[in-house]
Amino acid sequence: METVVVIVGAGPAGLATSVCLNQHSIPNLILEKEDIYASLWKKRAYDRLKLHLAKNFCQLPFMPHGPDVPTFMPKEFFIDYLDAYVTRFDINPRYNRTVKFSMFDMSNNKWRVEAENTVTGAIEVYWSEFVVVATGENGERYIPEVKGLNNFCGEVVHSSMYKSGRDYKNKNVLVVGGGNSGMEISFDLNNYDANTAVLIRTPRHILTKVEVYVGMLLLKYFPVRMVDTLVMMMSKARLFIYGDPSKYGLIRPNQGPFATKFLTGRTPVIDVGTVRKIHEGKIQVINGGIRSIEGKTLTFENGLRQDFDVIVFATGYKSSVCNWLKNYEYVMRDDGFPKNPMPDHWKGEKNLYCAGFSRKGIAGAAQDAMSVAQDIKSILETARY
């Protein structure tokens, strides 16, 4: 089958890219390995999840949120929004298509994309002038190698499979990872009376939703250093009642929260009440890594030995692009993330693009989609003359 643009992935970035291309009347199709669009939101999000950014940073092109939508949405509101988006713009991804191989064919200057139809088992071949990688940052779940993990006698869960703490009452649970998912899952577990510990290796800024919202608004007008200074003043005033966070294991980076985000990709942790529980001794913080596991006993790098019934790995994801995209070097590094610096990260060589890899959430995916569609439009218009 031939088309002008093949989009791989039907998450928010892929949906937005299709809509932007349709606005320019550019034929395109989306290949999606799952049986539904936005599978990360619909299948892999825990029950209590709320969007950490305000609604004006969580909308897709040509469809802003209405005034009745709360500033900070529960995931159900955002899923409803995506449903309405797909319906309004009549987006029809080809589901159950796992892309196995894609490469640029020099003989005809087109992309060959091979996808397995996981329902029938057939291999389908698509030819296109352009390819947009929209599989996003959250490709494959990542669990680090830990000595003895395969012989752990308890339960091992990745955060993508975690739904609620209701099944873990009175169990000893270790959450590995001090990012947003790890801290919020720790809070949820403790609310359901699990004996909760969180393992934090990397320094993180911990802010409120309002502090992040104010910071993101100010970044439109002021330099990062100035915004970081103001946001840190707000944060320190709020945390004054708890004293020095480092005393109970919460270490801050040397750089400000937004500088850290831009340089490393690590977002600030949005506090949902976890800091208070840590301060009150309801959630234990363990700094460092896991040295080894024997049975249910974990030995940590700081020498601590402790038994756990469950380990929840809130250790994120890794990009899977390089597994199937033979010519990934046209747009990606070896780690599956864009090789070009922002703001031109989305554009590669040989009409290869990526959307949703800016580490700027939904707003970044929306901007990528508009940039990609506009660039493809310009190339096609130039080719006509």
Q: What is the pLDDT of residues 290-347, one digit of tens each?
A: 999 999 999 999 999 999 999 999 999 888 899 999 999 999 999 999 999 889 999 9
Do 176 and 93 lie in a common domain? no
Do 64 and 187 lie in a common domain? no
Do 151 and 254 lie in a common domain? yes
Do 301 and 180 lie in a common domain? yes
The pLDDT of residue 243 is 77
| Structural domain span for residue 305 | 141-313
The pLDDT of residue 70 is 92
Mean pLDDT of the region 139-157:
93
Of the candidates 347, 334, 343, 318, the one whose C-alpha atom is nearest the C-alpha of residue 133 is 347
DSSP assignment string, 54-82: -GGGS-BTTBPPPTTS-SS-BHHHHHHHH
Do 164 and 230 lie in a common domain? yes
Do 201 and 295 lie in a common domain? yes
The pLDDT of residue 136 is 84
Do 22 and 74 lie in a common domain? yes
Write out pLDDT tens, residues 45-84.
888 888 888 999 999 999 999 999 999 999 999 999 999 9
> Pick from 313, 348, 374: which residue ends a domain?
313
Write out pLDDT tens, residues 171-180.
999 999 999 9
Do 161 and 124 lie in a common domain? no
Do 127 and 35 lie in a common domain? yes
Do 303 and 331 lie in a common domain? no
> Pick from 313, 343, 368: which residue ends a domain?
313
Do 19 and 66 lie in a common domain? yes
E strands, the chain, where?
2-8, 28-31, 97-105, 110-117, 123-133, 140-141, 155-158, 172-176, 195-200, 206-207, 269-270, 283-287, 290-294, 297-300, 305-307, 310-313, 317-318, 352-354
- Predicted TM-score (pTM) of this structure: 0.89
Do 275 and 295 lie in a common domain? yes
d(CA 86, CA 93): 10
Confidence label for 385 from pLDDT (cuts 50, 70 and 90) = low
> Pick from 313, 334, 352: which residue ends a domain?
313
d(CA 271, CA 52): 9
The pLDDT of residue 364 is 94
Please give the share of the chain, as a percent, with pLDDT higher than 90: 85
| Total domain count, the chain | 2
CATH number of the domain within which 148 lies? 3.50.50.60
